[in-house]
Structure 1
Amino acid sequence: MSPTIAQLVTASVGKMAIRNGQHPANETGKEHTMWHTFDTLPDIGRKFIALYNDGSGASLFYRHEDGYLDEDGNEFGDDLHSYDYWAYLPAGKSFWCEDRSDDPVKLPDVSAGCLTEDEKRDQADRCGCRGANDLCGCQNEPDAATVAKRAAMIANSPDDGGH
């Protein structure tokens, strides 16, 4: 039995992370899972790739409070039955619709950007280093709780974030 696309991509990404000095584990020491099923939905305000369940390819999406946008900036709704697995895109990865010169779509990326001092303090409380290590991820990149908090702020803001 040959491996699935998700298994191949997960193995490949895991090897690249280890070669680049990153350990494929989260802050609690549990194994990091890159691919998720849709039993667990992506966080609001995040971009992700979803694999077709027939193995024919993948699509890029952005999740907002009312559903999903595809990589062209078109409303997709919330029917993702054609997809089996999803994974977050790297922070700062832009879609074509964001970069086009005529009528670009603004998609706030809650996983990108510098941490505020309050976010650093909150993340330090959740991390084993307690913020003492300036090179630790808790002081340099948003963790899942910070991303969720940022997404909630966008969802509750009077401006609908361009949707």
Structure 2
Amino acid sequence: MTGINAIMFYALTLFQTTGFKNDALLLSAVITGIVNVASTFVSIYLVSIGVILLTHLNTTGTMDKRLAAVVVVLVCLYVMCFAWSWGPLAFIFFFFSAWIVVMGLFVVFLVPKTKGVPIDSIVERLWKQHPVWKNFMDDHDPKSKEMA
């Protein structure tokens, strides 16, 4: 729902459109992958806030001052990363969410379930019986007679 798959999938096309050549395209893919991995480690590091608080927070004011400073820095880093990503940009991801809803509805209403249907019978038992797709099936098609 965040749209990251679309960006990662089309990154090479985007870079090529901006004028990168073949070698630069490969380099851009490597750089994008490294940024993704490095950012993942930032997320893992931020989870350590919970671990620190779980293991070292007993009574208010009893945490070691250096460890407390680390928690403050991690919280600030989390807020900063949120402000760079979801904070001001959440409305952009509504576009991707709307398409996910459209795709989900398409699958639910227009793609028949094939479980338990032999592959030789799919045309006759599914496509020709489906409330929408049966309108597009040609009963006079020689290929469909061969399958029956």
Q: Same fold (TM over 0.5)?
A: no
Would you tell me which structure has more helix in proportion to its own residues? 2
Asked which structure has the greater RCO (Cα within 8 Å, sep 6+), the reply is 2
Q: TM-score, normalization: structure 2?
A: 0.22
Q: TM-score, normalization: structure 1?
A: 0.20
